[in-house]
Structure formats: structure tokens, C-alpha cells
Amino acid sequence: MFSFYQIASILLSYAVAHAIFVSIYRLTLHPYAKYPGPPIAKLTNWHAVYHAYKGDVHLHVEQCHKKYGKIVRIRPNAILVNSVTGFHDIYGNGKKVKKAEGYKIHGHANLIGIRDKAVYAKSKKIFQQGFSDTMNREHEPKVIQVINTFIEKLAENESPAENSGEWTNAKIMNQWCTWLATDVVTKVIFTTSWDLLTSAANRGVTGCLKAAVHITGILHTWPFLPGHEVTALLCFPHIAWSIPFLEQYANSVIKSSQEARVKDPSIKDVFGIFGAAKDTDTGKVALSKTAVRENTMTFIIAGSDTTASSLAATFFYLARNPEAYAKVAEEVRSTFPSASSICTGPALNSCTYLRAAITESMRLSPVAPQPLMREAEAGCIVDGEPIPKGLNVGCSIHTLQHNPTVFSNPYKWDMSRRLMDPSKDASEEKERIKEISRSFAPFSVGPRQCIAKNFAMMEMYLTMANVFWNLDFESAGSLGEGKQGEFVMKSYFTAFMEGPQIRFRKRKGVEW
């Protein structure tokens, strides 16, 4: 009979031998062995887990491409391709890829986690109903109502003793933009909301949302996918704590939404649309209560932090570029005769400086900076490279949008990139802007791009147009400033920023 020490010695020997065998295979015989990359990344996923936890995936990936070239082996079973062609070969329509296994953590009923293309296509038709162009027009009054509250709060001085003339005290805009975006998306989905702009009672939910996105980014790189909830709780209890609290916040807003429906059955919102959606084949209710709940919460997370990050970045860059600021202010104030006249339509679409400022901010601060991994199917070819079936391939949107071959001086915020230069050849300018558009993908592209991107852009355009019409603003601190003047961000599953510090004052001659 073996003793405990003999058994332990045998198991340890087996583990060491297994590790040596796997390491030799991954370094020499693996289909991705020919691609360069960090040596440790070729051996283990823990390298990716570390950077996901640290929140610097976007910077690490960019450094790897600079050191190793266009194609980098970033994990044992994954490569990243840094080219416009490669990006569209991976994420474009009709490509021979599907979502990587890491997306299983979202659950089979969650739209973002569905890997089967046919199932996804059917589900997408249901969820698109909540954010179609028709529904976005229905949502617009709710959005404007919350934006008006946002404007009023920005104009308030929280600490009168700190007041300097007509200016408010400095406001930390990632917080205010998060409260705005969360109130907007909950109003649109549930009709009721946590009212974060006007009350501090539920503002703890933003910390839960941030922690949930952080743990999601880590689990997407996790080597032990089965039982990910338990391993996450054991290894990252200081982050995983957020999940039960987030469920409590979700229960509260769902309960208030249901109570509102009892009082007013005519309420029309996204929650109601999802709950009433019918299966086109059977005619029965398409989504279970669990599926409706999971997906509405996903939309809240996606619709709050991503929009908030983009708005915070827009404030950051415009406050540091006075010439661009002046052009946007003049454009908005000359286009609309009053704040109440600001709405979607031809007038808002004509504000080219406003649109250029927002999109340039989204280029420098993309909302999805982590690579969105895809699993290759048979016949997959990316930028001329055949990808073996079952292995992962991806592209970093952050690296794509900082490509110096497309964006000259890529770390510089320059909204003129999006505008035609009348002093140059028109055909060359059109080609330049076309190439920029192909390299700009903050919501990704193809069949799996964000289905609510038009809603998100509508919210951002309406918000910034209202801010410029009602208020002046300027930088009031260095929070968020990084190297080369870029807005510092963390790359969890989505982007998170801290700052900027901005102060406001009411425009002279504008009635309130």
C-alpha cells in the first residue's frame, strides 16, 4: 500500500511531466508555434489573466505589436492580427468564425453569450426591436428628459464656498456621465430608474457595475472555464462581491417597473417589448423570464459604462482643445434657436464639428479596448493567414484605432481627421476618410456589432448639443491626464476612466 508521501510524489511527478510535455508542444508543435509573442503567453493563459486583472490589456497588446509585428501570439491558443484587412476578415459579415468559448460565461440565454450563429440571428431579431429606429424615436423624449436633469445638475454649485465667479466647483465627469447614462438606459428599458443624477441613495450600483465588468474581463481569459463562478469567487473575492449586490439593485428596479405597469398598463418600454416578443415559428412567447432579466441587465451594463466613457472622453478632449471647442460651440448655438429645439433630425445631423469631436474622442478612447476573441471555423483566413479550426483569433480595437499608417500622429486628438480638407484633392480626401472609417469600429462591425449603437450615438449627440447650448465648460484639474495628452483608461471587458475634472457656468443671455 502506498504511503501519503509516495502518492504525493507520484502526483507531483505526473504534474511536472505533464507541464513539460505541454510546454514543449506549445513551443514547437502547436499550430501557432510559428508566430512571435511574449514567451510566457505561448505557455499559459495566466499571462492574459494578469493583464485583464491589471486593466492594461490595451497597452500590453499595443506594445506586443510594436515589438513582434502585425501578428502576435497572445495566448497559447490565440493570436491577434493588427491590420484593417484582418479586422474585417474576423468581424465582418459572413466570416468563418464564431464567438470564442470565453463568451460562455455570459450564459446561453444572454445575447452576448450566444455562440451558435443561427440561434443568435433569431435572437437578434427579437432584441433589435427594443432599439430599432422606430423605437429610438419613442425613446427620445425619455432621453431628453434625463439630459435636462443632467444639465441642471451640472449648473449647480455643490460647494458654494469654492465658487469662483460664475463657475461651478470642479465636477468629476466620469461619475456624472455614468449617472446620466445609467438613468437614461434604465428609463428606456424599465420606465423607472435608480435616479442617480438626483439622489445618492442608489449610486452604489455604479461600483457594482464596474466590478462586474472587471470580473467579466478576467473570466474571458480564464484557463479553467468550467465552474468559473466558484473560481472567480475564490481567487477574486474583492471583485466578485459585486454580483449579489448587483442582483439586489436589479430586483429593485424591476420591482418598481412592474408596479408602474400595474398603475399604467399602456407603458411602452424595452422590458415590455422583450417580455411580449413572440417566436416567429411557434407564435409562443419567445423569451423566458430569466432570459428577459439577463438581457435587460446586460443592456444596462453595456448602455451605461460605454456611453459614459465616450462622453467623459469628449469632455476631456474638448476642454483641452480651445479652437475645436469654439467651433463646436458656435455650430450648435447657431444651428438651434433654443434648447427645446434640439432633437434628432437634419439639424443635428448637420453639426459636423460636434460629430467629429465625439467620434475622434471615441477613436482615442474606445469603449471595448480588450480584444474580442473569435474561434475559427473550417476555411477561416485572416489577412492571408489560414487559421486552424478551433483556435482563437482577434484584433484590438484600441490598436486598430491607433494605427499610425491610417492615423497620422495617432495619439493626438484632432477632430479635423473626419472632415474634408477643401485645400486638397477631393478624390484623395474621400479615399482618406473612407480608410479612416474602415479603421474606426468602437462598436465593432458585422453581425455581432452592438445592436444599440444608433441609440448610444443619439444619446451622445443630444447630450453634448444640450451641454453646448446651455453651458460653457473648461478644464479644472489634471485628473485622467496621461502621456501624450491622452485620456487614461483601464481596459476591463469595457473601458473605465477616472475624470476629467470640469467646471461649468450658465451661458450668458440664456433663460433658465
- Three-class DSSP category at 506: strand
Query: What CA–CA distances, in Å, run from 232 to 44, 141, 391, 496?
Result: 18, 41, 24, 21
* DSSP code of residue 409: S
What DSSP assignment string belongs to 279-319? -TTT-SB-S-HHHHHHHHHHHHHHHHHHHHHHHHHHHHHHH
Tell me the C-alpha distance between 78 and 370, whole Å. Answer: 13
The edge-to-edge listing of strands for the beta sheet with 97-99 is 71-75, 78-81, 392-394, 374-376, 97-99
Question: How many residues are there in the chain?
Answer: 512
Determine what percent of the chain falls in helix, strand and coil, rounding each to the nearest 5.
60, 10, 35
Contact 193, 200 (CB under 8 A): no
Contact 477, 500 (CB under 8 A): yes
Contact 365, 309 (CB under 8 A): yes
Q: Is 2 left (phi over 0), alpha (psi -120 to 50) or beta?
A: beta
Grid coordinates representing 216 are 467579466
Contact 46, 38 (CB under 8 A): no
Residue 450 in marked binding region:
yes
> Which amino acid does the sequence have at 45?
N
Tell me the C-alpha distance between 402 and 114, whole Å. Answer: 30
Tell me the C-alpha distance between 452 and 129, whole Å. Answer: 10
Query: What CA–CA distances, in Å, run from 387 to 69, 84, 86, 394, 409?
Result: 17, 17, 12, 11, 32
Tell me the C-alpha distance between 444 and 400, whole Å. Answer: 11
* DSSP code of residue 29: I
Count the neighbouring beta carbons within 10 Å of the beta carbon of residue 346.
6
Tell me the C-alpha distance between 285 and 233, whole Å. Answer: 35
Tell me the C-alpha distance between 97 and 218, whole Å. Answer: 22
When computed from its CA atoms, the radius of gyration of the chain, rounded to whole angstroms, is 24
Contact 344, 460 (CB under 8 A): no
> Which residues are known binding-site members?
450
Write out the binding residues for heme: 450
